[in-house]
A = this chain, B = another copy of it.
Amino acid sequence: MSSGLRSGQVAEAAGVNIQTLRYYERRGLLAEPERSSGGHRLYDEEAVTVLRVIKAAQRLGFTLDEVTELLETGRHRHGRVVPGLQERARTKLAEVDAKIADLTTIRATLATALEAGCDDLTVCAANACCPIPFTGLAEENRHAGPCC
């Protein structure tokens, strides 16, 4: 009989640190596994799957708290009011879009600074025609212009 996977094997299979297993267990993401007579953890195959699910969800931008809720929602969906994956994915998608938009603005500013030939922030800050937005760091459009 397969006596179960030891923590090292599970960690290896899922590509995480052993400490991470215990960390997830403490956080309630990973169920407490069986133990050997000596107290060593013995996992079943499912643990590896759960770890992969966690990593996939993290990769999609969910925090560990969010992943915890997602897993729990799946476990006991007893008419809870907890929003499911669909709902959360929609929200997350909006967040990702916002991040992309923000980074796109940043990208544009960097590109403009390169084009303008900016090479010294302190000089630029004193120079009214520098395209870097030193005031009003709020994230809106900044049109390019010749500088320095």
Question: Could you tell me which A residues sit within 8 Å of B by CB distance?
Answer: 15, 49-50, 52-53, 55-57, 59-61, 70-71, 73-75, 77, 84-86, 89-90, 92-93, 96-97, 99-100, 103-104, 106-107, 109-111, 113-114, 117-126, 132-135, 137-140
Contact = CB atoms under 8 A, between A and B. Distances in A.
Given A74-B120, A120-B73, A107 B135 contact: no
A104 B72 CA distance: 28
Q: How many copies does the complex hold?
A: 2
A52 B134 contact: yes
A92 B108 CA distance: 12
B74 A118 contact: no
B93 A104 contact: no
